[in-house]
Amino acid sequence: MTDEFKIYTRTGDKGQTALIGGTRVPKYDDRIEAYGTVDELNSFVGLIRDHEGADEQSRKTLLEIQDRLFTLESHLAEDKEAFIPKPMPPLFEADVELLEKEIDRMSKDLPELTNFILPGGHMIVSYCHVARTICRRAERLAVRLSGHYPVDSLDLQYLNRLSDYFFVLARYLGHLNGATETVWNARY
């Protein structure tokens, strides 16, 4: 007879959860908020990747991003004061550079941006903008966390660049799918 893996543990029923390393913290802990928001972002990235409006190169990059987001989640969930027998997987400068290269590649095909644009125009464009705003929230939470808990500067840089990537991806996929960009005209 083998032990069956169960998704529920009942250990969080009273509002606490464990960090990587075993330390129990309230589910509203800043670390949980930060990595939970990155997890939310990862789910939206999957939605974009699965959408029929995504091209093959974008799907490939989005899959890489999902992997990096799991890495980032593990960094935010790690209790740096606890003994952890196996180190967390690293992020590399090359991960940020990949985002920059993709931003540059997509930007070549886009008209120059001279005004703010409103999110929308095509379902996949809207999904990208939702991912961008979740990414910005994850970045804000990680920056706040870094005020009292060690957060790797590369993790913060990755989140910052990733939100830029989603903005350009929204424009790029909109362009590929024939969406019209709606310029924001401020009322005065």
Q: Is the pLDDT of residue 77 over 90?
A: no
User: Whole-angstrom distance between the N-terminal and C-terminal Cα of the chain?
Assistant: 73
pTM as predicted: 0.90
User: Domain limits of the chain?
Assistant: 16-79+89-178
**29-43, 80-94, 154-168: the lowest-pLDDT one:** 80-94
Give domain 16-79+89-178's CATH architecture: Up-down Bundle (1.20)
Residue range 111-125: average pLDDT? 93
Is the distance from CB of 154 to CB of 71 less than 8 angstroms?
A: no
pLDDT value at residue 8: 73
Average pLDDT, the chain: 90
Q: 177, 160, 41, 77: which is closest to 122 by C-alpha? A: 177
- Those residues with Cβ within 8 angstroms of residue 130's Cβ, 6 or more apart along the chain or in another chain: 44, 119
| Residue pointed to by tokens 């401020």 | 186
- Alpha-carbon distance of 172 to 55, in angstroms, equals 10
